[in-house]
Amino acid sequence: MAKSIDVSDLDIYYGDFLAVQGVTMSIKARAVTALIGPSGCGKSTFLRSLNRMHEVIPGARAEGKVMVDGQDLYDADVDPVAVRREIGMVFQRPNPFPTMSIYENVLAGKRLNATRLKKSDADDLVEKSLRGANLWSEVKDRLGKPGMGLSGGQQQRLCIARAIAVEPQVLLMDEPCSALDPISTAAIEDLIHELKSDYTIVIVTHNMQQAARVSDDTGFFNLKATGEPGHLVEFNPTKKMFTNPDNEATESYISGRFG
Amino acid sequence: MTNLSTAPTSSDMAPLQSGHLPRFAPLAVGVLAVAVGVLVGGMALGGGVAGALVLGWLTMIVVLPLWSRVVEGGRKAKDRLVTVGVWSTFGLAMIPLVSLTWTVVSKGYGALTPTFFQNSMQGVLGSGGGIYHALMGTLIVTAVATLISVPIGVLTAVYLVEYGNKNLFSRVITFLVDVMTGIPSIVAGLFAYALFQIFFGPGVKMGFAGSVALSVLMIPTVVRSSEEMLKLVPTDLREAAYALGVPKWRTVVKVVLPTAVAGIVTGVTLAIARVAGETAPLLLTAGLTTSLNFNPFEGRMTTLPVFIYSSIQAPGLYVDEMTSMAWGAALVLVVIVMLLNILARVVGSVFAPKSGR
């Protein structure tokens, strides 16, 4: 499991509007890569382009190369659905399926794809995924209850369990803690630390301390100017980024002297 | 330079207390209004019931706000005025509803006997007949119309919301559906009549033709309500499914439709309730008969509305009996529509996503 991702010269468009320009970075396997930057600079757009989720928005497209395990995600013959089975995603707002129980939510990736599982295998997968998401002990007695009945932090961990139940190579997280309280955030950060040994993780965050705490590498995105496309300003190991960044803009952003 | 400061200028705060009308004020004015209406409007001026109502209402809407203005000030007085206005319109809206229900129940109740539900009108002159044939006709014709309309309507809505992307084709469909919502039911009946004439020759009457006419009326309602329900499904859920590597069609079938099913079923049930009472198109297509017919593809089929129409329109020699049966059938029809509405609510709450709390 776990693959590295090599992005080279990626341009992302919404219709004619160039949203993100010329991103080149290599995301290491079994490591956490954080993407930081001001709102509207294209971090989330870039993240969504890594599993071709941005194409869900009409008119959105990307040019350039995203190589995962020697395959270009943007090759003409690539099926976006197949890409998303390998590269999972956790969203900003917890979004468990409201019609399903906790148990069914975890199995959603399998059930929705009509994969047949034996009852015992399904039970094992649910337990494994929920344990992986640090949620098992809290919900093991009420697996049949609706997923919407959990607290926000629990719902988000349920979504992580759902994402890892399909055993992806890479896990993308789009501000997974921004709707959560500090305790739930800590639970998810611990979880990210544990998941790191098995998955390649890319996380978008507005919280600089969070980036410093959880990530191995950090990418700083910024707009060149208002109305210009976003671009990758600096990509370095997190330690270097937060102590001795190469770029002046990065330093001002990280130290809070932005603008 | 202009003073742009928004800081408070005076140190004195406005008083937070003001006068209040007693809690029984609206009731007291109401009693006064009734008294004034009856004594002055009804008796002194000789206006009868109408005079009493008008004068009573005028008293209410003038006295209460005025009293409030003196004691409580202008803002509260406006509130009282509007409150009286809102209650009055509510009362006005209730009058026809209550009156209709009362008329149907009181006139139709007497006709409801066991034989009324067991017999058809075949060979019946005077008493002893029933609406069994019309009841079955209504159920069959509406059920077949539902079978035609629901798949077409729901799938059209799925296309419009999930696949149309507001392209030219989907905008044309939306426009046509809107136009279809407004077509008079007799036109739908003529359409079905003309259509079946092509295949079965002139003067053809069958239950299925009635179902086709009703489905022409039902489809736009189903499309519209399903479309609104599908639009309410959050994009987050679709993206969550896509992110798990689920293809689009499976996302629609397994995530979007189950999430919206409560609303869709409610919309469908209300559409059924609406067409169950149609008369004109069925008169043209399904025709009229006194005997029982279970086959929608062969022969005439009476439905409740058509039965009511013909009983009043052409009662023959037994006017009293037929009129009473018409009221009985009307009561049954109203009860069916009410049951469908209750069913819609129950189904809506059963299918609604649960929070588990």
pLDDT digits over A158-195, tens only?
998 999 898 888 999 998 888 778 888 888 898 888 88
Residues B85 and B227 in one domain: no
Q: Is residue B12 part of a domain?
A: no
Domain with residue B282: its CATH number is: 1.10.3720.10
Residue B265 contacts A, CB cutoff 8 Å: no
Q: Where are the alpha helices (DSSP H) in chain A?
A: 43-49, 80-86, 102-111, 119-132, 136-139, 152-165, 182-195, 208-214, 238-243, 248-255
How confident is the model over B326-347, as pLDDT tens digits?
A: 999 999 999 999 998 898 888 8
Q: Is residue B94 part of a domain?
A: yes
Decide: helix, strand or coil at residue A10: strand
Q: Is residue B10 part of a domain?
A: no
Compare CB distances from A53 to B239, B255, B357 and report the shortest one's residue.
B239
Compare CB distances from A112 to B234, B254, B355 and report the shortest one's residue.
B254
Residues B267 and B184 in one domain: yes
Residues B58 and B190 in one domain: no
In the predicted model, is pLDDT for residue B154 greater than 70? yes
A-B CB pairs within 8 A amount to: 88
Residues B102 and B133 in one domain: no
Q: Is residue B146 part of a domain?
A: yes
How close is the nearest chain B Cα to the Cα of A241, in Å? 30
Residue A144 contacts B, CB cutoff 8 Å: no
How close is the nearest chain A Cα to the Cα of B99, in Å? 42
If we measure between CA atoms, which residue out of B2, B5, B56, B65 comes closest to residue B30? B56
Q: Is residue B320 part of a domain?
A: yes
Q: Is residue B3 part of a domain?
A: no
Compare CB distances from B242 to A53, A58, A99 and report the shortest one's residue.
A53
How close is the nearest chain B Cα to the Cα of A3, in Å? 17
Please state the ipTM of this predicted complex. 0.87
The boundaries of the domain holding residue B276 are 117-351
Residues B131 and B39 in one domain: no
Q: Is residue B14 part of a domain?
A: no
Residue B117 contacts A, CB cutoff 8 Å: no
- Domains of chain A (ranges; CATH) run 5-255 (3.40.50.300)
How confident is the model over A45-81, as pLDDT tens digits?
A: 999 999 888 888 888 888 888 998 888 888 888 888 8
Counting the structural domains of chain B, the total is: 2
Domain boundary at B62, B88, B110, which?
B110
Q: B165: nearest CA in chain A?
A: A58
Residues of chain B in contact with residue A112, where contact means CB-CB under 8 angstroms, are: 241, 244, 246, 250-251, 254-255
Residues B160 and B35 in one domain: no
How confident is the model over B116-152, as pLDDT tens digits?
A: 888 888 877 777 788 899 999 999 999 999 999 999 9
| Interface mutation target, options B170, B246, B257, chain A, most CBs of A under 10 Å | B246
Residues B101 and B123 in one domain: no
Residues B106 and B190 in one domain: no
Residues B98 and B170 in one domain: no
Residues B128 and B100 in one domain: no
Residues of chain B in contact with residue A81, where contact means CB-CB under 8 angstroms, are: 242, 245-247
Q: Please, which contacts does B32-40 make with residues 24 or more away whose CB atoms are closer than 8 Å?
A: B32/B59, B32/B63, B33/B57, B33/B59, B33/B60, B33/B63
In the predicted model, is pLDDT for residue B263 greater than 70? yes
Residues B156 and B192 in one domain: yes
Domain boundary at B50, B76, B110, which?
B110
What is residue B12's DSSP assignment?
A: P
Residues 6+ apart with CB under 8 A from B288: B300, B302, B306, B307, B310
Residue B244 contacts A, CB cutoff 8 Å: yes
Residues B78 and B200 in one domain: no
